[in-house]
Structure 1
C-alpha cells in the first residue's frame, strides 16, 4: 500500500488566530503526529484541510 504524502509545502508558520499552519492548514498535533498516523487517518486529516483552507485568515 502506498503511503499518503504529507501536505507540507515547507511554509511552516502557525496562524495564532486559528491554530492552523499557513502553508498546509494542519494543526501542530496533526503535523507532529503525521508520520505515526495510518493512511486512513491521514486521509481524514486531508479531508479536514479542504474545509479549513478557504476559511483560514492570513
Structure 2
C-alpha cells in the first residue's frame, strides 16, 4: 500500500505585487510560476517551493 502525501498548497498570502525582478513580494514566486501553478505536477510544485525558500532567505520583507 502506498502512502500518498498531501498535495502541495499554493504559497499565496494574498499580497500580490511583483517586484522589478517579476517576483511576488508576498509568496516569492515569479509571475510565470504563479500563472502555471495549477497545471504543475506535485514534483514541479516541490521544485518551485524550494526556489521560493531560497528567495525568502534573500528577502527584506
Runs of 5+ consecutive residues of structure 1 not aligned to the other structure: none
Larger Rg: 2
Aligned residue-pair number? 57
Runs of 5+ consecutive residues of structure 2 not aligned to the other structure: none
Ranked by relative contact order (alpha carbons within 8 Å, sequence separation 6 or more), the top structure is 1
Q: TM-score, normalised on structure 1? A: 0.87
Q: TM-score, normalised on structure 2? A: 0.83
Give the alignment's Cα RMSD to 1 decimal: 1.4
